[in-house]
Amino acid sequence: MSVPRFWRELGTRYNLIGSYCKLTKTYHFPRRSFDPEAGRESMGTMEDYQFKGDGEVVNATVVHQSQTGYEMFGPYCMAIIKLDEGPRITSQIVDCDPKTVKPGMKVKAVFRKLGEDSESGILHYGTKFALKEIPEIEEEDESLSNIEL
Partner 1 sequence: MNGIVSYGAYVPGYKIETGEIASVWGADGSAWAKNLNVYSKSVPGPDEDVITIAVEATRQAMKRGKLSGDDIEAVYTGSESHPYAVKPTSTIVAEAIRATPNLTAADFEFACKAGTAAIQTCLGMVGHKQIKNGIAIGVDTSQGAPGDALEYSASAGGGALVIGRNNVIANINHTTSYTTDTPDFWRREGQKYPRHGGRFTGKPAFFKHVMNCGMLIMEKANTKPEDYDYIVTHQPNGKFPIRAAKSLGFTKEQFETGLLTPKIGNTYSGAVFLGLAAILDIAKPGDRILAVAYGSGAGSDGFDITVTDKIMDMDRTETVEDMISRMEIVNYATYAKFRGKLNMGSTK
Q: How far apart are CA 7 and CA 128, in angstroms?
A: 18
Interaction between residue 111 and partner 1 (CB under 8 A)? yes
Residue 110 binding partner 1, by CB under 8 A: yes
Residue with Cβ nearer partner 1 (42 or 92): 92
Note whether 46 and 32 are within 8 A (CB): yes
Binding to partner 1 (CB under 8 A): which residues in 45-84?
50, 71-73
Q: Report in angstroms how near the CB of residue 61 gets to partner 1 at its nearest.
A: 19
13 Cβ contact list (under 8 Å, min separation 6): 6, 114, 124, 125, 126, 127
By beta-carbon proximity to partner 1, the closer residue of 40 and 64 is: 64
DSSP assigned state of 144: -
If one counts every other C-beta atom within 10 angstroms of the C-beta of residue 109, the result is 21
Among 1, 3, 8, 14, binds partner 1 (CB under 8 A): 14
Contacts with partner 1 by CB under 8 A lie at: 10, 14-15, 50, 71-73, 94-95, 110-114, 123, 125, 128, 134
